[in-house]
């Protein structure tokens, strides 16, 4: 039969064309692969990828270790899903700042879609994200984010937090809830023009459900869910998270509804008011008007409330734990506070005269490394990066652990060392590799507020209390191993807040 086919001139011609095209394709593929090499990485297994080569319970450390073998740009497979990992300060900076557009999209995992349905600020892309982020930045700045107005809100909340700690009379207690409530009240004041009592059961439930959701987000079962979304209803952690999210959405809808009923377009009280007034002002034919709908308002508020509570509170808890763990550092902070400020209320402007204290706060952020993987990015187009070809829509992990612990940037990255931020004369110095808020288009939009909160809460507490382990517990036994979730939080443990004389 083959002989019959090849005896036909037309068939021979077609066959010749087919062979020529096949050869050209092979040559092009070979040339293209040489010209556009993809990042290296460990050899993946069918179906499972590299899941057996990483520790999902501490993924950032596993990836950091792999970077030492495969370099600052490498790829791993989570099941069939390819992820490019960026490691080290220079590589992460080059991607997020120098090629911000190409690496600027958010990876919307199944879980992140569950969170926001594509709306809001943190887990969205495109024009809606751009408009919501722009609006949030502008509005929060108008309400004094990082300025005098927010300073007054934080100082007032410092007073409530100090009273809460004073009631224990120097005895050991777990400070987790009080610090969570204090940080949450600051963002609540900006969102709703409202402060909640720490014993308010609805407020307590909202904050605790947010904290639990952030913790569960980093669990192994949720990582598996992102690979196999059909497993969701069978996973307890996923079911618990969905219940938490629905409960908090109901609470936030009620707060938004109350503000709608009392809205005066001439008086803007808070973020929600600003959104509603903007919605009224935009004409139907304005292209921006389509973004100002109830779902974008709800999910933007959810994003800001959760992020504004967790990151600041978690960092502050680490800071107090480090002070109890390293009493000689705490002593130096308190000596500087007493010498420079005395007993008066600390102001943000005092920071410039408190270099050692400022260095300790920055070192707390670096060493605690609470957002080790950042929130995953996705490439917006095909990109060549450090000689490697990365396709459009590839998931990218900017590994912040590798930035904050980069041995080429920090003198002693694995030690708590405030000298990282001090020069030889004891003056505070900024470090380029200090990147706890990420960088570029997706950097934390509440960075200035978070910095002010950390400074005022930390100094106000250290001004009044000396933090120690519980009686009979030596400093060496305080556990610095984190609880791994979407962020790295300290294990719940008791400390004593002893009133200073």
pLDDT at 24: 44
What are φ and ψ of residue 345, in 5° steps? Answer: -65, 130
Q: Please state whether 453 falls in left (phi above 0), alpha (psi between -120 and 50) or beta.
A: alpha
If you average pLDDT over every residue of the chain, what do you get? 90
Beta bridge partners of 172: 496
Binding residues: 444
* Three-class secondary structure of residue 276 per DSSP: helix
Residue 404 tokens read as 């904050």
The residues, ordered by sequence, that sit 6+ positions from 53 with a Cβ below 8 Å of its Cβ are: 42, 62, 66, 76
Domains of the chain, by residue range, sit at 37-109+372-404, 118-369+414-501
Residue 315: which of 264, 360, 355 has the closest Cα?
Answer: 360
Per-residue pLDDT tens digits for 417-453: 999 999 999 999 999 999 999 999 999 888 889 999 9
What are φ and ψ of residue 216, in 5° steps? Answer: -70, -25
CA 210 to chain centre: 14
User: Percent of the chain having pLDDT more than 70?
Assistant: 91
Q: Let me know the angle formed at the C-alpha of 295 by 444 and 393, rounded to the nearest 5 degrees.
A: 55
Binding residues for heme: 444
Q: Is residue 135's pLDDT more than 70?
A: yes
Q: Give CA–CA dist 82/49, Å, rounded.
A: 9
Contact criterion met (CB below 8 Å) for 445 and 136 = yes
DSSP string, 81-98: EEEEEE-SHHHHHIIIII
CA 290 to each of CA 131, 139, 308: distance values in angstroms, whole numbers, following the listed order: 10, 19, 26
pLDDT at 4: 45
- pLDDT greater at residue 20 or residue 399: 399
Strands 81-86 and 73-78: antiparallel
Architecture of domain 37-109+372-404: 2-Layer Sandwich (3.30)
> What confidence category does residue 318 fall into, taking pLDDT thresholds of 50, 70 and 90?
very high
Residue 233's Cβ-side half-sphere holds a number of Cα atoms within 13 Å equal to: 1
Q: Give CA–CA dist 235/403, Å, rounded.
A: 34
Strands 395-398 and 81-86: parallel
pLDDT at 282: 83
Fold exhibited by the domain 118-369+414-501? Cytochrome p450 (1.10.630)
pTM score > 0.85 for this model? yes
The residues, ordered by sequence, that sit 6+ positions from 473 with a Cβ below 8 Å of its Cβ are: none
The residues, ordered by sequence, that sit 6+ positions from 214 with a Cβ below 8 Å of its Cβ are: 306, 310, 485, 486, 487
């Amino acid at each position: 039969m083959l002989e019959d086919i090849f005896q036909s001139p037309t068939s021979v011609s077609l066959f010749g064309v087919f062979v020529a095209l096949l050869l050209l394709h092979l040559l092009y593929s070979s040339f293209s692969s040489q010209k556009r090499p993809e990042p290296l990485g460990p050899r993946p297994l069918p179906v499972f990828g590299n899941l057996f080569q990483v520790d999902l319970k501490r993924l950032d450390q596993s990836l950091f270790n792999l970077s030492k073998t495969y370099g600052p740009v490498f790829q791993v497979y989570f099941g069939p899903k390819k992820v490019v990992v960026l490691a080290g300060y220079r590589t992460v900076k080059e991607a997020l700042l120098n090629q911000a557009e190409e690496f600027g999209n958010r990876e919307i995992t199944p879980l992140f879609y569950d969170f926001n349905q594509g709306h809001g600020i943190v887990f969205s892309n495109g024009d809606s994200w751009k408009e919501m982020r722009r609006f949030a930045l502008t509005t929060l700045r108008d309400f004094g984010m990082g300025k005098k107005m927010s300073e007054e809100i934080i100082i007032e909340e410092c007073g409530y937090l100090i009273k809460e700690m004073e009631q224990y009379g120097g005895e050991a207690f777990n400070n987790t809830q009080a610090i969570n409530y204090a940080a949450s009240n600051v963002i609540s004041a900006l969102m709703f023009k409202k402060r909640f009592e720490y014993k308010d059961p609805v407020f307590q439930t909202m904050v605790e459900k947010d904290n639990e959701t952030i913790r569960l987000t980093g669990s192994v079962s949720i990582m598996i869910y992102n690979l196999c979304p059909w497993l969701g209803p069978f996973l307890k952690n996923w079911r618990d998270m969905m219940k938490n999210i629905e409960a908090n959405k109901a609470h936030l809808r009620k707060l938004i509804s109350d503000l709608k009923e009392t809205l005066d377009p001439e008086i803007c009280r808070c973020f929600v008011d600003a959104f509603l007034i903007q919605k009224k002002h935009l004409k139907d034919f304005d292209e921006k008007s389509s973004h100002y709908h109830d779902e974008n308002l709800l999910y933007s508020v959810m994003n800001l409330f959760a992020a504004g509570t967790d990151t600041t509170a978690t960092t502050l808890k680490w800071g107090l734990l480090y002070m109890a763990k390293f009493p000689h550092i705490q002593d130096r902070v308190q000596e500087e506070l007493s010498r420079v400020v005395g007993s008066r209320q600390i102001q943000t402007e005092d920071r410039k005269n408190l270099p050692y204290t400022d260095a300790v706060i920055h070192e707390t952020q670096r060493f605690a490394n609470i957002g080790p993987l950042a929130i995953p990015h996705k490439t917006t187009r095909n990109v060549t990066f450090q000689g490697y070809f990365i396709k459009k829509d590839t998931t990218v992990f900017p590994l912040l652990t590798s930035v904050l612990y980069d041995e080429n940037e920090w003198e002693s990255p694995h030690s708590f060392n405030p000298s990282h931020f001090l020069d030889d004369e004891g003056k505070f110095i900024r470090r380029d590799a200090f990147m706890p808020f990420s960088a570029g288009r997706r950097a934390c939009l509440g960075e200035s507020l978070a910095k002010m909160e950390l400074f005022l809460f930390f100094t106000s507490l250290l001004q009044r209390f000396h933090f120690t382990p519980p009686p009979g517990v030596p400093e060496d036994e305080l556990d610095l191993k984190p609880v791994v979730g979407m962020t790295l939080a300290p294990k719940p443990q008791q400390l004593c807040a002893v009133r200073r004389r």
